[in-house]
Amino acid sequence: MNYARMVIEKEAPEEYGYDRIRFNLSESSIADQKLADIGLSLPDLTLFYGEHRGDKQLRALIAGQDKALSPDDVLVTAGAAGALFIIATSLLSADDHLVVVRPNYATN
């Protein structure tokens, strides 16, 4: 297979080097963390993705831009992976087929 990495992938941990990354706070496959767990002297603020549909106030603010929308019509994701999952699971049915051009999201 002739696979060339995309320019954006140069910033991926695999390219940058895991040994050079001390704290990876963006990794989604770890348990929720507190800032104190990594030695920061801030109040205990749990880092997590939040509500699966997005922050209620933010959704209301976005919906307020169009009188035809309500906050329930708006979804805010923590990243592209969540957005792609929502798109795939809402548009595809059990009998559908999905063709994936690349085997992974470009920045993973």
The values of phi and psi at residue 49, to 5°, are -75, -25
* Contacting residues for 77 by C-beta, under 8 A, at least 6 apart: 54, 83, 86
Domain boundaries, the chain: 1-48, 49-102
pLDDT digit string (tens) for the chain, length 108 residues? 455 656 666 666 667 777 787 777 666 555 666 766 777 766 656 667 677 788 899 999 999 999 999 999 998 887 777 787 777 778 888 888 877 766 555 554
Q: Are 78 and 50 in contact (CB under 8 A)?
A: yes
Res 104: pLDDT: 59
